[in-house]
Amino acid sequence: MKMVTPTWAGFSAGCYDFGNQCRALMPKLRLFSKQETVSTPKVTEQSKSLTDSLRQARTVVHFISTPGGGGAEAMLLNLVSAMDQEAWKTVVIVVDGRAWPESMTKLREAGAEVHDLECSGFLRKTTLVKLVKLLRQIRPAVMQSWMHHADFVGGWCARLAGVHHVVWGIHCREIHRIPGESDLRAAVFRKLIGASSNVVPTKIISCSAAAMDDHVPLGYPRAAMVWVPNGIDTKRFLPDDQAREAIRNELRVPTEAPLIGFIGRFHEMKDLSTWLRAAALLQLKKPETHFWLCGGDEHELGDCARAALSVMPMRSQIHFTPFRPDPERAYTALDIFSLSSRTEACPMTIMEAISCGVACVTTDVGDCARLLKGAGRVVPARDPEALALAWEETLLEKPSANNLRRHAQENFDISVAARGYENVYEEVLKA
């Protein structure tokens, strides 16, 4: 069967090309020169004081594509805020943060030292050069990367820079393709990252138990994986009647009208076509209901989702807004927060909505049912009829906001997750 040949040929070529890139970069980076020095800014009294206070703290570098726009990015901010700053100095390196100035500011305000490579992609030569040089300058005790492409590129660059302790981060159940990526290139990347998972990371943190099972067939070593569920700042995500009224006024949604919402990226895995088809079904039964998709414009929807939107009975009651930097206020406007995803790992949005006292309905994917534990309704994926019925039943019998809030405080607080990450870092340093 010759179908296998192109994949392995591509895999071999991919390995060869990556090796050539590394060899080409080594002379420029002088990776093996013990005499190389890196210029540093003049030390001020203030920076000296800060250095003295952090002298005993070990440095952990977090490497991620962008600082905002998704659950993993939100989790990173939560983690930075909750880390023990006396024990750990946190540094965040992003590939390109220029489109996310508010998120960059929040990371700094949370206590992180933030570096923006200002590069347009992971496998650009400038990205690799800047990242390796920066890691050689920082010399972290631990390098933590976030999501597959950052794991692969960040992990290998960390090894080239002499970082001995690398931790990968799984935040989704499948490897997302880069827009325009061919089948062959995607297959090569799966082979490369599966093979690399056995030699690059010391440990692999997964936010989802289901995602761990999904990665074993890719070649990930089960023994290296550790389950650390996501967490949120439950003091930030609170019920807020004033925010509820203000957001509804912005959307022009009547105070008493039911409002069902989605907050997140318009990614195909979110299956917003099912969400919109369910909305159309519910509008026929409850025409007073409004729907809000916060995270993009309708033109960013896929073809199937746009088709569902085009036959909406009351199109004026479907609201689209860009992603907001204050999701804690956005949730409070909702009567129901809902996911229709075909796949998830451990979605932060469910945790955040419940912490705000908002009822949740989600598809039974990833760890969603485990998160709810009776605090919401779960329906099969790709079933708009079941989703619409669950919305209708929830509107008729909404759970107590106080009970939802208590559920979030007991199960989702970021302090638990932060200790989990710190324990993994301590373990790899002892290895």
Backbone angles phi, psi at 30, to 5 degrees: 50, 50
- Asked whether residue 260 falls in the same domain as residue 276, the answer is yes
Indicate the SS3 state at residue 307. helix
- Whether the pLDDT of residue 36 is over 80: the answer is no
Burial class (CB in 10 A: 0-12, 13-18, 19+), 322: exposed
What's the DSSP call for residue 271?
-
Residue 41 lies in a domain: no
Does residue 423 share a domain with residue 320? no
> Rounded to the nearest 10 degrees, what angle do helices 348-355 and 71-82 cross at?
60
C-beta separation of 145 from 154 below 8 A: yes
Q: What is the pTM of this model?
A: 0.77
Helices (H), 205-326: 209-215, 241-251, 272-285, 303-310
Task: Report which of 265, 204, 239 is spatially closest to residue 71, judged by C-alpha positions.
Answer: 265
Regarding whether 349 and 207 lie in a shared domain, the answer is no
Average pLDDT, the chain: 89
**What pLDDT was estimated at residue 176?**
86
Stronger pLDDT, 423 or 49, i.e. the higher one: 423
Residue type, 185: R
Helices (H) and strands (E) in the chain, counts: 17, 13
In a domain, 222, yes or no: yes
Instruction: Return the pLDDT at 228.
Output: 96
For residue 295, being part of any structural domain is answered with yes
Q: Residues 314-367: pLDDT tens digits?
A: 999 999 999 998 999 999 999 999 999 999 999 999 999 999 999 999 999 999
Residues 181 and 270 occupy one common structural domain: no
pLDDT at 24: 52
Identify the helix (H) or strand (E) that includes residue 416: helix 414-430
**Residue 36's CB: how many other CB atoms inside 10 A?**
11
Q: Judge whether 97 and 66 are in contact, CB under 8 Å.
A: yes
The range of the structural domain enclosing residue 315 comes to 241-412
Sorted by sequence, the CB contacts under 8 Å of residue 216 that are 6+ apart come out as: 222
Q: What is the pLDDT of residues 396-419, one digit of tens each?
A: 999 999 999 999 999 999 999 999
Task: State residue 346's pLDDT score.
Answer: 93
- Residue 348: inside a domain, yes or no? yes
Q: What is the mean pLDDT of residues 45-50?
A: 48
In this prediction, residue 256 has a pLDDT band, given cuts at 50, 70 and 90, of: very high
pLDDT of residue 56: 73
Same domain, 246 and 188: no
Please give the pLDDT value at position 17. Answer: 54
Domain contains 50: no
Are residues 217 and 251 both part of a single domain?
no
Average pLDDT over residues 371-398: 96
pLDDT at 331: 98
- Asked if the structure places residue 277 within a domain, the reply is yes
**Average pLDDT over every residue of 46-68:** 74
Task: For residues 252 and 378, state if they share a domain.
Answer: yes
Residue in 229, 254, 179 with CA at minimum distance from that of residue 351:
229
Could you give the CA distance from residue 157 to residue 140 in angstroms, rounded to a whole number?
Answer: 13
Q: Say if residue 339 is in the same domain as residue 367.
A: yes
Two tokens, residue 93 = 């390196």
pLDDT at residue 79, rounded to an integer? 97
Residue 81's pLDDT is 96
Residue by residue, DSSP assigns 48-68 as HHHHHHTTTSEEEEEEES-SS
Q: What pLDDT score does 20 carry?
A: 54
Model confidence at 13, pLDDT cuts 50, 70, 90, reads very low
Domain with residue 356: its CATH number is 3.40.50.2000
Give the rounded percent of residues in the chain with a pLDDT score beyond 70: 87
The C-alpha atoms of residue 269 and residue 265 are separated, in whole angstroms, by 10
Nearest alpha carbon to residue 69 among 273, 301, 325: 325
Residue with tokens 């809030």: 405
Domain assignment present for residue 178? The answer is yes
The confidence score (pLDDT) of residue 94 equals 98
Q: Are 107 and 64 in contact (CB under 8 A)?
A: no
Model confidence pLDDT, tens digit, residues 20-34: 554 454 444 333 333
Q: Residue 97 carries which side chain, given as an amino acid letter?
A: G
Question: Residues 397, 349: one domain?
Answer: yes
Q: How close are the terminal C-alpha atoms of the chain, in Å?
A: 44
Q: Is residue 52 part of a domain?
A: no
Lowest mean pLDDT among 3-7, 243-247, 276-280, 335-339: 3-7
| Residue pair 339/366 in contact by the 8 Å Cβ criterion | no
Neighbours of 129 (CB within 10 A): 16
Indicate whether 51 pLDDT > 90. no
The rounded distance, in Å, linking the Cα atoms of 386 and 363 is 10
Helix, strand, coil percent values for the chain (each to nearest 5): 50, 15, 35
